[in-house]
Each structure stands twice: as C-alpha cells, then as structure tokens.
Amino acid sequence: MATHKTRMLIIGSGPAGLSAAIYGARAMMEPIVVQGLQPGGQLTITTDVENYPGFRDVIQGPWLMQEMEAQAVHVGTRMMWDTIVEVDLSGPPFRAIGDSGDIYEGDTLVIATGAQAKWLGVPGEMELGGKGVSACATCDGFFYRGKKVAVIGGGNTAVEEALYLTNHSDDVTLIHRRDELRSEKILQERLFANPKITVLWNKTVERFEGDPLAGGLTHLVLKDTVTGETSDFAADGAFVAIGHAPATELFKGKLEMDASGYLVVEPGTPKTAIPGVFACGDVMDHTYRQAVTAAGTGCMAALDAERFVSGLNVDLQGHVEEAEAAG
C-alpha cells in the first residue's frame, strides 16, 4: 500500500481525462491518471471513428486512445492501473482510495469517469456491436447512408436519434414498447411530421440477428407487448437509444447531480461547487457526448486546475486585466 501525491489527480482515462492530463503535464502539474475499469473509455469499444478532427481516413477508436495515452505519458503523466473505490473531497488535498489499497492525493481533482450507454441486454446485442448495432446515431449514422435503420426507445434520446438519422436515411423506424412516447411534446411533433419516420408501437426487441463476420445485422426479432406475437423486422442498422448512465456512484452525497445522475457544473465551465474539484467529459455532459467535446472540457478542466493551484482562480478577463496593469 502506497500514497501517491500530485498537483492534479485525474480519475478516468477517456478523451476527457487524457486531454486534461496532456494540458496538466505541460503546465508542470505532474498529473496522475487512475485509469479505472475501462482504460480509454467508450472509444475502446468503438471501431470506426470518422469524426475526430485531424484524420482524413477512418481511424480505430482503440488506436486513438492508445495514441492519446502515449502522448500524455510522453509529456509527463503518470498512468496508474487502479480503480477508485472511495473519495474524500474535504481537501485540498483531495484523497482517493484505489481498489489496490493505494491512496492518491491531489491538490486538484479532475473527475472524468464518463458515462455508459444503457443497453437492452438481449441476445446478439454485444456480438453485433459495431456491426449494425450501435448506441450513438451521431457517431455511426453516417455509415448507414441510404439504408434502412431502426431506433429503439421512447424518450428524448430516441426521438432525437431518429430525427438525426433522417439526414442519412429515408427509412427510419422508431420501435417503442408502449403506445405513447415519453419525450418532450415538441420533439414528438417533429417526429410525427417527418415523412421519413415510421413508429412501431407496443414492440420490444427480443434479439438482434445477423452474422458479425459477414454483413453484420440482418434483422430484429420483435415481440408485441399486447398480443405476445413475435415477428422479424429487417434492418441494416439498429440504434439502442434508452439513455446513458453516468459513472457518478462514487460522488453521491458529495457533489451535486441532476435528476439523471450527471455531475452539475458552473455553466460554461468544468467547475463543481467544491473549489479545486472539476468534472469534464460525459460525466457532466448529457447533451453532446462526443470524443471531441469531452477532450475540450478536459482541456478546460486542466487550465482551471492550473489556475486554482497558482492561486489565480479568476476568469480569462481577469488575466487580461492583470496583464494590462503589469504592462
């Protein structure tokens, strides 16, 4: 059992955590990143990435995260293979205890624990993941241009995904287990007014079928929640849109969260209500949930953490005024 001390402790190693680490290391903060249960975050289970700036060709999610980690290490980050099981936010220093028994102390704490898409948990879902089954239309919709797609769900996420997919497909079907949607009325109005979208009511997905090695998804097996009858529904792509679950269990009762469990930050910043504690990436962002936005908020968290440690906990305008006064 050992104690590791740093000026910046980062929990989570997806695009947000690693971007924070890169900026923190370059500011001589000597950050420690505790990688968690899924090193690299959600991108490690994303195959083709076509929308991350800087790459003209499709890249692989796991490769991108390996490169980010290598960059973070190269500029001075310490990567720790551990999972945090308990935190004490009464600092600074802020303390975290790992599953290994090791203790991590940081003058600042950057929370980048991310979120996970909720899945249906039915046969074929994981096997056909990235091969026709996805949980992110804005990530993968482009690959289904001109094809037949289905969206499973009935809340805001599902309706937004269905509407987004009409940019790529003229044949979008929303599959919902009830006979009415839970989404906001204005979204429902847009959905029902769109001629490219059909709604299948009172249907649940029993399983996804296809060949992961050849062609991917071919159809969904549906069950009628009223009659109990099963039927096949042919589709090239299926998007599970039943929401996301932020990884915030560690912080319950210690940091403010919204109704869905996302950490609450000061608008436009990664600052939590506790000075020196910052949240970035999908753990605080239920709107965009993209690698590039996560990386951006990771950068912001590192810059704010550096200012906090320097005792310059002021906004950018304050820095400008100080510079003018000095000049």
Q: Where are the domains of the chain?
A: 3-116+244-322, 120-241
Supply 117's token pair.
Answer: 């898409």
Residues forming beta bridges with residue 199, ordered by sequence position: 174
Give the rounded distance of the alpha carbon of 207 from its chain centre. 25
First to last CA, the chain: 50
State the pLDDT at residue 314: 42
Helix (H, G, I), strand (E, B) or coil at 189: helix
Residues 6 or more apart in contact with residue 258 via CB below 8 angstroms: 264, 286
Cβ atoms of 172 and 162 within 8 Å: the answer is yes
- Token pair 């000026």 is found at 7
Active-site entry in 102, 136, 171, 224: 136
Distance between CA atoms of residues 220 and 207, nearest Å: 6
Cβ atoms of 301 and 280 within 8 Å: the answer is yes
Distance between CA atoms of residues 121 and 133, nearest Å: 12
State the pLDDT at residue 318: 41
Active-site entry in 82, 107, 139, 285: 139
Q: How many CB atoms within 10 Å of residue 227?
A: 8
136 labelled catalytic: yes
Residues 6 or more apart in contact with residue 129 via CB below 8 angstroms: 45
- Token pair 């590039």 is found at 292
Residues 6 or more apart in contact with residue 15 via CB below 8 angstroms: 41, 43, 65, 68, 281, 291, 292, 294, 295, 298
Give the rounded distance of the alpha carbon of 170 from its chain centre. 28
Question: Would you say domain 3-116+244-322 falls under CATH 3.50.50.60?
Answer: yes
Full-model pTM: 0.75
- The candidate with the shortest Cα–Cα distance to 23, out of 218, 302, 230, is 302
Residue 213 amino acid letter: L
Give the rounded distance of the alpha carbon of 295 from its chain centre. 11
State the pLDDT at residue 12: 95
Determine the topology of domain 120-241 in CATH.
Answer: FAD/NAD(P)-binding domain (3.50.50)
Cβ atoms of 83 and 102 within 8 Å: the answer is no
Cβ atoms of 3 and 103 within 8 Å: the answer is yes
State the pLDDT at residue 45: 64
- pLDDT by 10-residue block (mean), the chain, 327 residues: 95 96 96 87 74 90 93 97 95 93 97 91 94 89 95 92 95 97 93 97 97 94 97 97 90 94 96 97 90 96 96 46 44
Distance between CA atoms of residues 259 and 244, nearest Å: 12
State the pLDDT at residue 47: 63
- The candidate with the shortest Cα–Cα distance to 49, out of 207, 36, 41, is 41
Active-site entry in 57, 82, 88, 140: 140
Residues 6 or more apart in contact with residue 106 via CB below 8 angstroms: 5, 6, 7, 8, 9, 32, 91, 92, 93, 94, 96
List Cα–Cα distances, 73 to 20, 41, 64, 178, 296, in angstroms.
12, 17, 14, 49, 19
Same fold yes or no, 3-116+244-322 and 120-241? yes
280 labelled catalytic: no
